[in-house]
């Protein structure tokens, strides 16, 4: 079943720039983690943020959503500066997060997990609802009254994605969505991301599964020790097997 249009909201037309990081420095105490990180995500496109463990990917996500205020640089959401704002303000402006490890509320039902995350925003012509989430995740409909903690790992990941969508994000950040999942569920997550992309959802994808990421992404940024060492098209990266092996340890 096709997803009804969600991505092309007022002011968010495909072809513009959804998210831009320029010269981001981020520190944990005295530890300098991100160094002048710059990349951009086009509206209605998928950008894969790749790198080995400890490269700074999750720190980058934390800076975007406001968990860690950058020490320098700019973060712009559809041209509006959001760097240093509180996480709840950034979320209200339209950045949604599917966190690493899912972090669902285990004692709440599936429906309650979705309802508690519901947010609407002026200009949302067709906001996400329980009905729409259940259309793309039929298993969640079947389990809507179950405690979320009783779901399988794959079902919990579906719930984490559905919960983020209920916030009607203009940009969706996905932090390791395939982590710990069986191959069939990894494929299901990939199909879901592809459907959201087809619908015009802007997505920043952090992913250790390089094959999955390159299949879905339009552009790629690779981090190494907190620095961008590649920023360009997924197609260009696919043709550079030496770079992939050097920076990501695969191929």
H/E run at residue 18: strand 17-28
User: What pLDDT does 11 receive?
Assistant: 46
User: What pLDDT does 153 receive?
Assistant: 87
For the whole model, what pTM was predicted? Answer: 0.88
CA distance 197 to 45: 6
CA distance 132 to 52: 35
Instruction: Give the model confidence (pLDDT) of 136-170 as tens digits.
Output: 999 999 999 999 999 998 899 999 999 999 999 99
User: What pLDDT does 235 receive?
Assistant: 94
Residue 34 Cα distances to 37, 55, 81, 223, angstroms: 6, 9, 19, 9
Query: Could you give all domains of the chain from N- to C-terminal order, each with its CATH number?
Result: 17-248 (3.40.50.300)
Q: Which of 1-10, 132-141, 177-186 has the lowest mean pLDDT?
A: 1-10
More confident residue, 100 or 112: 112
Instruction: Give the model confidence (pLDDT) of 32-86 as tens digits.
Output: 999 999 999 999 999 999 998 889 999 999 999 999 999 999 999 999 999 989 9
CA distance 31 to 28: 5
pLDDT over 60 at 230, yes or no: yes
């Amino acid at each position: 079943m096709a997803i009804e249009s969600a991505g092309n909201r007022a002011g968010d037309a495909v072809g513009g720039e959804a998210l831009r990081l320029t010269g981001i420095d981020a520190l944990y105490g005295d530890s300098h983690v991100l160094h002048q990180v710059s990349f951009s995500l086009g509206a209605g496109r998928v950008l894969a943020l790749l790198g080995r463990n400890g490269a700074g990917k999750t720190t980058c996500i934390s800076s975007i959503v406001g968990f860690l205020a950058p020490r320098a640089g700019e973060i712009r959401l559809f041209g509006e500066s959001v760097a240093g704002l509180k996480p709840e303000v950034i979320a209200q402006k339209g950045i949604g997060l599917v966190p690493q490890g899912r972090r669902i509320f285990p004692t709440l039902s599936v429906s309650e997990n979705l309802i508690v995350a519901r947010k609407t925003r002026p200009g949302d012509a067709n906001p996400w609802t329980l009905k729409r989430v259940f259309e793309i995740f039929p298993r969640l409909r079947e389990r809507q009254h179950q405690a979320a903690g009783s779901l399988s790992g794959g079902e919990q990941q579906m719930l984490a994605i559905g919960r983020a969508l209920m916030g009607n994000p203009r940009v969706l950040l996905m932090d390791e969505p395939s982590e710990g999942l069986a191959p069939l569920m990894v494929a299901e997550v990939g199909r879901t991301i592809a459907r959201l992309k087809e619908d015009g959802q802007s997505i920043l994808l952090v992913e250790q599964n390089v094959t999955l990421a390159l299949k879905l992404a339009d552009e790629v940024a690779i981090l190494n020790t907190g620095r961008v060492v590649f920023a360009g098209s997924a197609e260009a990266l696919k043709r550079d097997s030496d770079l992939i092996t050097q920076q990501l340890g695969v191929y």
